[in-house]
Amino acid sequence: MTTVEARLILGDCAKELKHLADDSIDLIFTSPPYADSRANSYGGIKPDQYVEWFLPISQELYRVLKPSGTFILNIKEKVVNGERHTYVIELILAMRKQGWLWTEEFIWHKKNAYPGKWPNRFRDAWERLLQFNKARKFRMFQEAVMVPMGDWAERRLRRLSQTDRIRDNSRVGSGFGKRVANWIGRQKAYPTNVLHLATETKNRNHSAVFPDDLPEWFIRLFTQEGDWVLDPFMGSGTTVRVAQRMGRNAIGIEILPEYYQLAKAIIPPLAHLPARQLSLLEETEPYESVEPE
């Protein structure tokens, strides 16, 4: 039996983060208010002031994250005066100056985005998940997010060509090579950096709830049981609730009392969970990169 803690804090994360210890968090996963959006529910930050507003917070996040930890920032730039605002791009550049490494960018493809009509653009059906780190070497448990090989493997592996049986080095000299035959008999492959997930449709009395699968995927990829997960813009508590279910300790900070109460009502301060999940102990094998046709 493992016991994990969930600390819910009511307040402004710019201030509350100062009470957290240096180098104490394994994963920060959060979705801050988007510039100017949802002004009716919790006020918005003007797109032109977004970077200035966020930098003192990211400075504190840098301090509390362990050198081996990861920060995932879910964000999407809005359209202002007919063009995409550049505050996300400016934020990335400013955070790099703060010392962050912009290690990767994942795309959350919203599978169930409903159609719409705009004169000069199509429906927005994706959001960014920016990955930042303090060091080039960080903890990552790739085997924990492997996906079934599915149809591609069956189709592609049925008829192997001569090159498929040997290592096929890239013709453009990129150094990338693949040996498709390596995948015979494999049930699982490593995923891509595009996540296809439906948006949350169950209304949990918060206007910007993300689906459980989103934090879950990153918690599996970047943490192990007993680690610490932080969401400084907790909202209804999705990240903290999911982290707790997965046997991770978690801290959530929320500025609005009604959302804080919402999270408090469903997340106990301590949870007792059965011992380690077997899926995390899966056997791993060396593999080579493979590109679907």
Report the phi/psi class of residue 185: left, alpha or beta, with left for phi > 0 and alpha for psi in -120 to 50: left
In the complex, least distance from residue 173 CB atom to ligand SAM, rounded to whole angstroms? 44
The smaller minimum CB distance to ligand SAM, of residues 42 and 106, is found at: 42
In the complex, least distance from residue 227 CB atom to ligand SAM, rounded to whole angstroms? 19
CA–CA dist 133, 87 (Å, integer)? 20
Q: Can residue 223 be called a binding residue for ligand SAM (CB under 6 A)? A: no
Q: Can residue 164 be called a binding residue for ligand SAM (CB under 6 A)? A: no
Closest to 14 in 3D by CA, of 74, 76, 59, 67: 59
Binding-site member from 2, 3, 12, 184 for ligand SAM (CB under 6 A) = 12
Binding-site member from 55, 94, 107, 256 for ligand SAM (CB under 6 A) = 256
The smaller minimum CB distance to ligand SAM, of residues 14 and 55, is found at: 14
The smaller minimum CB distance to ligand SAM, of residues 65 and 153, is found at: 65
- List 178's β-bridge partners, or say none: 168
Residues 6+ apart with CB under 8 A from 59: 98
Q: Can residue 252 be called a binding residue for ligand SAM (CB under 6 A)? A: no
Rg from Cα positions in the chain: 21
The smaller minimum CB distance to ligand SAM, of residues 143 and 237, is found at: 237
In the complex, least distance from residue 259 CB atom to ligand SAM, rounded to whole angstroms? 5
Give the per-residue contact string, 28-67, with ligand SAM (x = CB under 6 A; - = no): ---xxx--------x-------------------------
- Torsions phi, psi for 118 (to 5 deg): -125, 150
Residue whose beta carbon is closest to ligand SAM: 235
Segment interacting with ligand SAM, rule: CB under 6 A, options 137-145, 158-166, 251-259, 271-279:
251-259
Site for ligand SAM in 184-213 (CB under 6 A): 206, 208-210
Size of the site for ligand SAM (CB under 6 A): 20
Q: Are 108 and 195 in contact (CB under 8 A)?
A: yes
Site for ligand SAM in 81-110 (CB under 6 A): none
**Alpha helices (runs of H) in the chain, residue ranges in sequence order:** 13-16, 39-42, 50-64, 87-98, 150-158, 162-165, 213-222, 238-245, 257-266
Binding-site member from 6, 13, 25, 221 for ligand SAM (CB under 6 A) = 13
Closest to 27 in 3D by CA, of 240, 260, 184: 240
Residues 6+ apart with CB under 8 A from 270: 3, 4, 5, 6
Q: Which residue has the tokens 């094998």?
A: 285
* Chain residues in the site for ligand SAM (CB under 6 A): 12-14, 31-33, 42, 206, 208-210, 233, 235-236, 238, 253-256, 259
